[in-house]
Amino acid sequence: MGAGKILIVDDEVDALDNCRRILSRLGYDCLTEHDPLHAVQRIRQERPDLVLTDLRMPGLDGIGVLVEAKRVDPKINVVLLTAYATVQTAVASMQHGALDYVLKPYTSKDLEDVAKRAFEQAGQTSHGAPSWAGLDGPAVRSDSGRKTAIELILGRSQAIHDVKGLIRKVARTDANILIYGESGTGKELVARAIHDESERAGQPFMPLDCVAMPDSLLESELFGHEKGAFTGAHAAKAGLFEVAHRGTVFLDEVSGMSQTLQSRLLRVLQERHVRRVGGTRYADIDVRVIAASNRELEEACRKGEFREDLYYRLNVIPIVLPPLRDREGDVQVLAQEFLTRFKGRRSAGADAVPSFEPAALACLKAHAWPGNVRELQNVIERVAALADGPMIRVEHLPERIRAARADESNAEESASYKQAKQEVVRSFERNFLLELLKRHGWHMSNAAQEAGVDRKTIERMVKRHGLRGPS
């Protein structure tokens, strides 16, 4: 193998060492970095030929490393390593120019193949369409030939049409945005779409899950720290607000942030500068903040769990994402789209995209989808892996999805029985009333006296059944 410089980025030390050993044996010059923010500095200093980066890392994810690498040198090839393959992350990676996408746990052959392909493409354009393990989509309208984030928000319902229209409107402003939505509705994808449609599109988009780490680490990730600021702070580190200068910071599940950090975040938003933990110098920042929550923050403010002044800072423009159960017609659209994207993971020889038999589609439509789009995507990925032949049948679906259709059928049967019972009662009442009135020559007072009811009751019943006496 010819020598080539590879930077490997992974916050898991064991995974980092394993990847380095495999590639070093193949003759590559391997550099390693467990801190993704430090990795960005190494890219600027070392100018590697290839960057292999884990996707999910605290502080800066693999997409962020990819964006920064391309800013340093668009010719640097970047490959993502992850155990969490999704359509959203795959296409977001494509959009930013990644070469490929390797699933964990990977083999030495996987790494050898992707490294070989990267160095074979050296000197050629790195903007060709990667393989993405069957997740790549069709040609689209962007200049690079890749889907934009807003095009990845799939669906034809009026609800999702309204969301897309709002995204395009708010992207033209620089106001902070608060996105509400249940888990799995696509809050991060909407945040990326706002960023990509805005004038900040060429700058970093930095996502951070506010409930995924303890306060001390979250503070360091957001604001950075100086060397020696706390035990283990062996080097200075820039926080997300510094790294995302002129770009966008996405704070997912911001309601999970402690009151102390809420206070500090509020000060950063008000004063537009940040001071690292243990530092004395303030750095000016130009950052748009998009926050998200699956909780109603106004209620959290009333309970004293969230600062009201921070709420108003973040909630300049609210966007409410509809749950999948309220997006009429979108389950079928999304299911077929996901099936198309995952077709590459099906058995060999299944080149044609399969379709759903009516009963299977009815099961999907009947399910409540508490996990929303993410749950549907996971179900379809399983279906694509297990189904054989050109048709997705009911037996290919998980038991909980099949049960939803059975429950709906039972509900339909119950409703039908209730309706039939009401018809029988109405018919009996009409016939009884007609016979009663005939016996009394349509004299309503006498009929009411025999029936033991008020005359007005008889009059209302006559009107309800549309009865007419002899003319």
Please state, in angstroms and rounded to a whole number, the distance separating the CA atoms of residues 181 and 159: 13
The CATH class for the domain spanning 402-465 reads mainly alpha
How many other CB atoms are there within 10 angstroms of residue 158's CB atom?
12
Per domain, the residue ranges of the chain are 5-134, 152-322, 325-397, 402-465
Classify domain 152-322 at the CATH topology level. Answer: Rossmann fold (3.40.50)
- pLDDT band at residue 165 using 50, 70 and 90 as cut-offs: very high
Classify domain 5-134 at the CATH topology level. Answer: Rossmann fold (3.40.50)
Classify domain 325-397 at the CATH topology level. Answer: Helicase, Ruva Protein; domain 3 (1.10.8)
The confidence score (pLDDT) of residue 187 equals 94
Whether residue 408 is predicted with pLDDT greater than 50 in this model: the reply is yes
The confidence score (pLDDT) of residue 237 equals 85
Sign of CA dihedral 97, 100, 103, 104: negative
For 50, the enclosing helix (H) or strand (E) is strand 50-54
Name the percent of the chain lying above pLDDT 70: 85
**Same fold for the pair 5-134 and 325-397:** no
Could you give the C-alpha distances from 303 to 70, 211, 213, 257, 299, in angstroms and in order?
A: 45, 19, 23, 15, 6
User: CA angle, 74 as apex, 71 and 75 as ends, to 5°?
Assistant: 145
Whether residue 450 is predicted with pLDDT greater than 70 in this model: the reply is yes
The confidence score (pLDDT) of residue 86 equals 56
* 20-71 tens-digit pLDDT: 888 988 888 899 999 998 999 899 888 899 999 998 888 888 888 998 888 8
Nearest to 289 by CA among 226, 401, 210: 210
- Adjacency order of strands within the sheet including 5-9: 29-33, 5-9, 50-54, 77-82, 100-103
The confidence score (pLDDT) of residue 1 equals 43
* 238-272 tens-digit pLDDT: 888 998 889 999 999 999 999 999 999 999 999 99
Report, as an integer, the average pLDDT of 275-301.
Answer: 93
pTM for this prediction: 0.59
The confidence score (pLDDT) of residue 4 equals 82
Place of tokens 């410089």: 5
Whether residue 127 is predicted with pLDDT greater than 70 in this model: the reply is no
* 348-392 tens-digit pLDDT: 444 567 889 999 999 999 999 999 999 998 899 888 888 877 889
